[in-house]
Structure 1
Amino acid sequence: MIQVWRVGVGEFAEALLARVREARAGLAAAVDAEDAYAASVAQSDLDDVVWLARRHGIDIEADGE
């Protein structure tokens, strides 16, 4: 049997905002470490999660963190 998880819009938005914060932190850490490969991977992750947030109308700039 397939189990279906129900997630509210607020929970979805908060999860995406958390992913944005994590991706930004990962990118900053990679840049600080001067690790070009890790920075590229982190930037790609950030681009993906920002695209997803925008696709669902979630304002990542209003996050405040």
Structure 2
Amino acid sequence: MGEFAEALLARVREARADLAAAVEAGDVYAASVAQSDLDDVVWLARRHGIDVEAGEE
């Protein structure tokens, strides 16, 4: 896997962790921002043919 794909998968993992933390904390605003970030990075990864589900391992 190339560096670009690895970096995007790392960003997906980070965004998912940020979203989970915001939800756990009950911070609606932070959860909204984290969800938006996650949506953006998942879209970018898929646009480049990167399987974001494989990055969950």
TM-score relative to the length of structure 1: 0.84
Task: Name stretches of at least 5 consecutive residues in structure 1 with no aligned partner.
Answer: 1-8
Greater relative contact order (CA < 8 Å, ≥ 6 in sequence) = 2
Identity of aligned residues (%): 86
Higher helix share: 2
Computing the radius of gyration over CA atoms, which structure comes out larger, 1 or 2? 1
TM-score relative to the length of structure 2: 0.95
Deviation at 1:63, TM superposition (A): 1.5
Question: Which runs of at least 4 in structure 1 moved beyond 3 Å after TM superposition?
Answer: none
RMSD: 1.1
